[in-house]
Structure 1
Amino acid sequence: MKRLAVITVGKTHSGKTTFARSLEQKLNNSIVMDQDNHGAFINTYYRNLQPKTGPNTLKHAISQLIVDYAKEQSDCHLIICNSNRSRKGRAYLLEQLFPANEFIRILVHFDVPDHILQTRVTNSQRDTNIFRSASNFEEVLERQNADSLKEDVVDPVEGEADHLFVIKDCGDVSDTIQRIIMIEKDIH
């Protein structure tokens, strides 16, 4: 039987983590894979091992290990909570890690206006121990806005995965969770 792979897409403070945790509570036999947790773990215990510049290959290796373990050693539905804004990165997840013959792939795009995100990061109380090269979430949002000009950083489109849900505000969250639960019930 296929499992769900729910992949979030969105900028910092768009609601990805809150959504993922809510979905995990309502979707039986599911687990959240959140790279922020992996970053905090590394910064707490292995700060000197991570690369000083470029991609955080240590964080990606830990995330890969956890996803591989969950795929091979459990039958859990996987909720991948990260920004996943690069089309190439999503293609890797959808085609290599979560192939269509094993998973029902669901993208949840958090399309929250920048002025709302700016307010959220300005007032953020979230722990910054997840950072390697930023000092606060305002810097992260600035970088993500600059990245939006890159060719590969694009919003997901219909057909990219088996299902695409777009969340524009808090009111869309509950409906999206219910629709994902219905997809899971349909595979039983």
Structure 2
Amino acid sequence: MNRLVIMTVGKTHSGKTTFAKALEKEMSNSVVIDQDNHPEFLQTYYQTLLPKQGHNTIKYALTQTIVNYTINETNCHLILCNSNRNRKGRLKLLEQYQNKGFTSIIVNFDLPEHILKERIMKGQSSTTILRTVSSFDEVLTRQQKETNKGDVVAPMEGEAGYLFVIKSVDEVQSVIREIVTIAQS
């Protein structure tokens, strides 16, 4: 069986999690790995282990454990639901999966800023996942600055086996259908 790794890329509130969950429902034998689920668990049960500053290495270790289990103990397709906006980090991750025989797919969410701001204002997302800022509006502002400084680069052709760019919510279902078709071939 040809296993897929689908990596979502995009700013906060661009639709990555909604897309990943919808894809998981349509694509049999797949699992969403959403790093945003882990901080609340760690905050609830292992608060004393959380770093006061710097990288949340325990969150990354938990995610990596779940990913490794999925790769080595199942035959599931992986849907990685994170921002993955840093090109260097994204390429490093994709290389690991490609070396394990996965076919890689990037789904880049490139929605207009005004839509993201509107979603943040209307949003019900829990801020418990935030450590270094107090709101998703601050997250978006930081992400805009990173983009303006060139710290992050949009995915390009050739980074993965397949690249899909979603510029409108209307494109989500057709991208899901295409990925399901790839999984079935």
With normalisation by structure 1, the TM-score equals 0.94
How far off its partner does 1:142 sit?
1.2
Matches of residues 29-178 of structure 1 in structure 2 within 5 Å?
A: 29-96=29-96, 98-99=97-98, 102-178=101-177
Check the 8 A contact 2:2/2:183 in 1, yes or no: no
How far off its partner does 1:23 sit?
0.2
How far off its partner does 1:10 sit?
0.1
Aligned positions, number: 185
- Cα RMSD of the aligned pairs, angstroms, is 1.2
Deviations 1:144-169 (A, max 9, x none): 11111343400000111000000111
Point out where structure 1 has 5 or more consecutive residues left out of the alignment: none
How far off its partner does 1:137 sit?
0.9
How far off its partner does 1:104 sit?
0.7
How far off its partner does 1:184 sit?
0.8
Q: Report the structure, 1 or 2, having the larger helix content.
A: 2
Check the 8 A contact 2:117/2:137 in 1, yes or no: yes
Distance 1:155 1:41 in 2: 31
Q: Secondary structure at the match of 2:127?
A: coil
Q: Secondary structure at the match of 2:150?
A: coil
Q: Which moved more, 1:160-169 or 1:140-149?
A: 140-149
With normalisation by structure 2, the TM-score equals 0.96
Q: Secondary structure at the match of 1:84?
A: coil
Point out where structure 2 has 5 or more consecutive residues left out of the alignment: none
Q: Secondary structure at the match of 2:148?
A: coil
How far off its partner does 1:50 sit?
1.7
